[in-house]
Amino acid sequence: MKFAFYFLHYFYEGLVLFFPLILFFIAFITLLGSIVGRIEGWTKFNAIYWSFITALTVGYGDIRPSRKISKVMSIIIAFTGIMFTGLLVALTVATATTAFEDHLYIEKNMTLEELEEATKKRREEYSARFKVKEQ
């Protein structure tokens, strides 16, 4: 249970750190979606709904652009959404790794040197497992 609290604590810190970038992505997706909505004649709600469905690569298909410029902008929204999702995934992975290392360090009464040695050994094992064998 303590691991979950470590994870949530570090995730919150990461969100605070990345907040300006996250806010930029959300604002950019909303802005482009609003522009496409205006071009296509959609309501504001439908335009923002469509932009986030597109950005998160869900793409239900219930609303879709019909003009070329709108289709080009939908590609930009999709690429922006991929970057946004990648940022959140990277933050989650980094947070889980840090929380796991802290859990080992604090809960398993490992010294810092033991933790560093275990981390180094784990990385070497992963590198050896995925290393391409020379022929």
The answer as to whether 60 is a domain residue is yes
**CATH for 42:** 1.10.287.70
Which residue blocks in the chain are alpha helix, DSSP H?
2-40, 44-55, 68-107, 112-130
Output the pLDDT for position 36: 97
Domains contained in the chain, number: 1
* Domain around 36: 2-130
pLDDT of residue 88: 94
d(CA 126, CA 124): 5
Q: Is residue 135 part of a domain?
A: no
Considering the entire predicted model, what is its pTM?
0.74
Work out the number of other CB atoms within 10 angstroms of the CB of residue 73.
19
In order along its 135 residues, the chain shows pLDDT tens digits of 778 888 898 899 999 999 999 999 999 999 999 999 999 999 999 999 999 999 998 989 899 999 999 999 999 999 999 999 999 999 999 999 888 887 777 777 777 777 778 778 877 876 777 665 555
Query: What is the identity of the amino acid at 111?
Result: T
Residue 62 contacts residue 80 (beta carbons within 8 Å): no
